[in-house]
Amino acid sequence: MADNSVTLVGNVTKDPELRFTTGGRGVASFGLAVSRRYQVNNEWQEQTSFFNVVAWGTLGENAAASLNKGHRIVVTGRLEQRSYETKEGEKRSVVEVNADEIGPSLRWARVEIEKIARDGGAGGSGGGSSSGGASSGGGRAPDPVYGDEEPF
């Protein structure tokens, strides 16, 4: 089976833009600059590649609430090609990173992790506090990896 996975470490180039589908599912998109330094004949060269990153659901909502331009992050996901038509009728194609996980790079930064309470349960078990952030509503399907269990 062919696998399509990519891990990128880079800097956010613009604040994430959060939108919602007509069904209410969140999707965030932002740019990521990935730089590479290498030496040629004792002279340092730098090459930067730019990627569009798309994050769906709670990952996208949390990314939009947490990330800002300039933050150094780690993204794992899949490369996906998407075709579309411009307003002028021109056909275009773009390759994007569809994120599975996003986290801060801890090489030059420290973070404090704030666990978000999960919706969908009657009452809360476990003594975590909920911050006053926006909720995406109840009726969420169980996580495909953890089911109804908390991942940590």
C-alpha to C-alpha distances, 152 to 58, 65, 116, 136, 147, nearest whole angstrom: 16, 21, 11, 21, 13
In tens, the pLDDT along 88-127 reads 999 999 999 999 999 999 998 898 888 888 765 444 444 4
Strands (E), 14-90: 17-20, 26-40, 43-56, 72-85
Taking only the tens place, the pLDDT of each residue in 67-90 is 999 999 999 999 999 999 999 999
* Fold of the 6-104 domain: OB fold (Dihydrolipoamide Acetyltransferase, E2P) (2.40.50)
pTM across the whole model: 0.71
Averaged pLDDT for residues 23-39: 95
